């Protein structure tokens, strides 16, 4: 646990008592503060009270008298589409609003660091797609290299549940836009921007607000190094904003769309080969094609970003390549779950938006595509350019018929349920095919989460194959 600094003897309100909220309350208490908790769910309040925390309705008049701060869980809106009433009350009372990420950055460094030979570092990864895989890959490479490292944030543990840093420790954080948007402190050593595509637009008031939330990791934190995916205009703009000129190697530009050149520091992948260039010459390369845990161009982008971070931390290219080779991938992200009779079954349930689905579709040939779910804003129009390898689509979800009608140029069958989609795909698949779950939609019409959807896909595949 990371005890929170700066609130000793003060009362701090905590809104939302899920994983991050309870961890915040515990860390505040460990730092000598009193946590005043609230959640609309009585069961969540019961859990907090069983741990000795005081729960009080923060919507009541005068609730923020003598309160020094409000810590908000990431799922709770603080501005768009409209502020939660508790957040609005705190704003009107002039009470500073923060989240667990802000508490972490104000509390992670301690006086004990003066005795360390190597100061701990924090690597933070944000972006629309690939941030989980990139974060996990960085963590894996560091572990394989024998470096002390912990993984947290939007993946793994909550940030305040981390162990206090030891000499030379590297903390790897995956941070969503919900987390970067509100944190009052974001002082990373290395910050990564993978890419940007439309997502969570209602929460951020549009695309500009969404990009602004991501940009805060760099503008507010001032990282020593920034690794920036430059295949979208926003990434190009961000890299330019952070750089003092073409040769400024504090900014490492990453691409899978083109060969990068110039006097600075670049890492790019073309036709499955990763290349690192510095000061106009190549200094490292990795053949990514045989690495099964990183299939497709989108994973090659993740590999480029992870490679760049590892290089900033002093790892040699051969050490990084060895770490890549042993990386098994993450559940629900281009995860190979079965192979039989020449057919490969891949779970990419995390492909919850059109851009992520396009990248998944681009990673495989001869695809039998299971898709559908709760459609996100913007529709499916952009998917047409990525469906060339699709042999047939099997559409699930409450609105499967409407979803299928938008798949222009693709043979599609309405299956409604995962069980039926898997049954038909397995029956029709031939050697060389890939049965791919890449929904291009949220899961909430049928499942509690994309993880539950992916688990159901895996269970149905095993049932159909007789595992």
Q: Cite the annotated binding site by residue number.
A: 127-133
CB 17 within 8 A of CB 37: yes
Q: Do β-strands 97-98 and 69-72 pair in parallel, antiparallel, or remain unpaired?
A: parallel
Q: Considering only CA atoms, which of 53, 18, 48 is closest in space to residue 154?
A: 18
What count of other Cβ atoms lies within 10 Å of the Cβ of residue 418? Answer: 23
Structure tokens at 447: 């499942």
Query: Residue 192: which H helix or E strand, with range?
Result: strand 190-193
Annotated binding site for ATP: 127-133
Q: Considering only CA atoms, which of 161, 162, 102, 155 is closest in space to residue 125?
A: 155
CB 448 within 8 A of CB 382: no
Calpha distance 445→234 (Å, rounded): 32
Q: Is the peptide bond before 81 cis (omega within 30 degrees of 0)?
A: yes
Backbone angles phi, psi at 267, to 5 degrees: -135, 125
CA distances 385 to 47, 51, 354, Å, are 49, 53, 11
Non-local CB neighbours of 228 within 8 Å, separated by 6+ positions: 192, 193, 235, 238, 239, 242, 251, 252, 253, 254
Query: Residue 171: which H helix or E strand, with range?
Result: strand 170-174
Q: Considering only CA atoms, which of 397, 392, 429 is closest in space to residue 412?
A: 392
Query: Residue 71: which H helix or E strand, with range?
Result: strand 69-72
CB 192 within 8 A of CB 125: yes
């Amino acid at each position: 646990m990371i005890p929170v600094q700066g609130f000793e003897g003060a009362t701090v309100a905590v809104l939302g008592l899920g994983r991050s909220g309870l961890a915040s309350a515990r860390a505040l208490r460990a730092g000598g503060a009193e946590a005043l908790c609230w959640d609309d769910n009585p069961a969540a309040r019961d859990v907090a009270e069983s741990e000795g925390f005081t729960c009080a309705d923060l919507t009541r008049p005068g609730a923020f008298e003598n309160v020094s701060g409000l810590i908000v869980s990431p799922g709770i809106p603080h501005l768009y589409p409209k502020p939660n009433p508790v957040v609005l009350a705190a704003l009107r009372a002039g009470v500073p609003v923060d989240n667990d990420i802000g508490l972490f950055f104000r509390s992670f460094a301690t006086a004990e660091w003066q005795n360390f030979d190597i100061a701990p570092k924090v690597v933070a990864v944000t972006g629309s797609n690939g941030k989980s895989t990139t974060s996990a890959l960085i963590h894996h490479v560091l572990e394989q290299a024998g470096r002390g490292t912990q993984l947290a944030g939007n993946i793994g543990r909550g940030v305040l549940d981390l162990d206090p840093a030891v000499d030379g420790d590297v903390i790897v954080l995956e941070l969503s836009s919900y987390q970067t948007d509100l944190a009052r402190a974001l002082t990373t050593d290395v910050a990564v921007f993978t890419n940007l595509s439309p997502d969570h637009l209602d929460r951020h008031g549009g695309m500009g607000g969404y990009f602004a939330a991501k940009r805060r990791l760099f503008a507010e934190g001032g990282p020593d190094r920034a690794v920036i995916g430059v295949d979208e205009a926003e990434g190009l703009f961000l890299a330019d904003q952070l750089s003092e000129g073409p040769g400024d190697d504090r900014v490492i530009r990453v691409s899978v769309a083109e060969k990068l050149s110039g006097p600075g520091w670049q890492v790019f992948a073309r036709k499955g080969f990763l290349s690192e260039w510095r000061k106009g010459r190549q200094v490292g390369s990795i053949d990514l094609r045989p690495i099964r845990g990183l299939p497709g161009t989108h994973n090659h982008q993740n590999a480029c970003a992870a490679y760049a971070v590892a290089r900033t931390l002093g790892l040699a290219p051969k050490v990084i390549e060895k770490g890549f080779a042993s990386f098994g991938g993450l559940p629900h992200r281009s995860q190979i779950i079965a192979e039989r009779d020449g057919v490969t079954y891949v779970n990419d349930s995390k492909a919850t938006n059109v851009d992520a689905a396009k990248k998944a579709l681009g990673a495989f040939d001869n695809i039998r595509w299971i898709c559908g779910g709760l459609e996100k804003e913007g529709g499916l129009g952009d998917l047409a350019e990525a469906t060339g390898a699709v042999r047939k689509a099997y559409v699930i979800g409450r609105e499967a018929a409407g979803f299928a009608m938008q798949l222009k140029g693709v043979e599609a069958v309405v299956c409604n349920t995962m069980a039926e989609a898997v049954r038909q795909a397995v029956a029709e698949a031939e050697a060389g095919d890939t049965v791919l779950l890449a929904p291009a939609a949220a899961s909430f019409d049928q499942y509690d989460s994309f993880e539950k959807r992916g688990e159901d896909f895996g269970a149905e595949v095993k049932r159909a194959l007789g595992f």
